[in-house]
Structure 1
């Protein structure tokens, strides 16, 4: 996955130890499948998950981008995870609990773009340096762990993490890489998910990580331009003559035209 390609809107975690989920993922509309060897896999099934992950990736997921989440640097499982990834065609490796640039080092040997998870207060302060590393193509907000580390009484209250969330987006944008929102835990709350996905888009995230197939379609909708936005962008581009000018009651300049063209390109993709 490169930063000049269209960013994935929906990034779905698929447990490496769940054969049914690995197969079902082939028919889902997720932009990026993240086969998970970390949190979604019980400790006594790690070996099984690595083997299943490798079989699944070698079999292929036509038309889909594929990443694998390995265990964190410093864990005794990570070396085995990295060994299992050698020779596989992956779009990215997802590395959890990246607190410093040095945490990236064990994964560099794969030569695969890294999506670094920012999950602790230490990581928030280090986010700009992490995002600027040449191996990193994006940051993922690990908000469950962050809420725990911050000792928040209500982990679902994103407003309590607003500074941290915006710091992740700022660090990514300053480094010219992607930024992806954290997961939404309440599987049966469709309205709540839609609201959080829309909020993530407003905050500047490129997409959102997901934990259930039911979240894929509403996520794609939330991060895709609406029909109204497309029409407005088309009208703005058509009206633009260069420099500052009045358009439909507001002042526009080249920056607004560039943003409208980018929206139309995203809609076309």
Structure 2
């Protein structure tokens, strides 16, 4: 088996940090999130955009955030700040640039062209937020638009707003359909997808339930709005000790059966075949990637 840890980067917890808040950016260096989104969009008022841009780009260049994946969220296409944001972020060279409200494959290709023209290094990926009806309906072609686009972030608050829905426990049918639809498109393209935020930072029970729901649906992690959500997100989207032990035992049982010339095996009273082993190896590789941090 190849070393799958080389291909896996944990994104269980993806924490938004306001780009205009210097103390928040400093605190982020100590938070055990897998990824940090240094935000220039929703959390920054219009009169603070330029200053926040400079601060966030300096943070991205600092090299002071350790293992944490650093992502700069720019303002959306068509806003007065977008072009300057994208050029500055590309020059700063973070791990990725996140662009809100992506609606088409053409936008993806135009963004990649602009990033390259601004001197983005090869390691700087493009992340896309899917949060509009147009983006949802074009999710498959967006996902396949360019290899530099690697991660999708669900903007569930905007989806509720633009579908005229309601925020309800367990999430309303339009949101669940949007999540499932986009997840299928992203998996077909072999890329990563992160669930949307949970708005009530004091409701840890509700957060745990929604994080479990996202994990059960197949998401790689969850975007967060408060550091208190990091630890439960890391737990929800990581294999448990029982998961790891079961995967190890399943692989051992299957390899023993293969050594005996069998194509399938029995494990804990159930038939297992190659597809179960692929999943078990994925679980172990993800566990190893987390441990290697």
* TM-score normalised according to structure 1 size: 0.95
Per-residue CA distance 1:118-162 (angstroms, 9 max, x = gap): 101111110011111222102111110000001013366513221
Q: Which moved more, 1:79-88 or 1:89-98?
A: 79-88
1:136 aligns with 2:149: yes
Equivalent in 111, 118, 121 of residue 130 of structure 2 = 118
3-state SS in 2 of match to 1:158: coil
Measured after TM superposition, the shift of residue 107 of structure 1 is: 2.8
1:267 aligns with 2:272: no
Return the alpha-carbon distance in structure 1 between the equivalents of residues 168 and 39 of structure 2. Answer: 22
1:84 aligns with 2:88: yes
Return the alpha-carbon distance in structure 1 between the equivalents of residues 39 and 110 of structure 2. Answer: 18
3-state SS in 2 of match to 1:8: coil
Other-structure match for 1:159: 172
Other-structure match for 1:64: 68
Per-residue CA distance 1:206-244 (angstroms, 9 max, x = gap): 011111111111100000001111111111011112322
Measured after TM superposition, the shift of residue 103 of structure 1 is: 2.2
Per-residue CA distance 1:166-189 (angstroms, 9 max, x = gap): 001101000110011000100100
Other-structure match for 1:50: 53
Return the alpha-carbon distance in structure 2 between the equivalents of residues 67 and 165 of structure 1. Answer: 22
Q: Which moved more, 1:53-62 or 1:144-153?
A: 53-62
Q: Mind listing any 5+ residue stretches in structure 1 that lack a counterpart?
A: none
The 8 Å contact of residues 16 and 41 in structure 1, kept in 2 or not, is answered as yes
1:219 aligns with 2:260: no
1:15 aligns with 2:36: no
Q: Mind listing any 5+ residue stretches in structure 2 that lack a counterpart?
A: 1-5, 117-123
The 8 Å contact of residues 90 and 97 in structure 2, kept in 1 or not, is answered as no
Return the alpha-carbon distance in structure 2 between the equivalents of residues 168 and 261 of structure 1. Answer: 25
Number of residue pairs aligned between Structure 1 and Structure 2:
267
The 8 Å contact of residues 73 and 106 in structure 1, kept in 2 or not, is answered as no
Return the alpha-carbon distance in structure 1 between the equivalents of residues 127 and 276 of structure 2. Answer: 29
The 8 Å contact of residues 166 and 172 in structure 2, kept in 1 or not, is answered as no
- Structure 1 segments, 4+ long, off by >6 Å, are none
Measured after TM superposition, the shift of residue 58 of structure 1 is: 2.0
Q: Which moved more, 1:167-176 or 1:99-108?
A: 99-108
Measured after TM superposition, the shift of residue 6 of structure 1 is: 2.1
The 8 Å contact of residues 147 and 155 in structure 1, kept in 2 or not, is answered as no
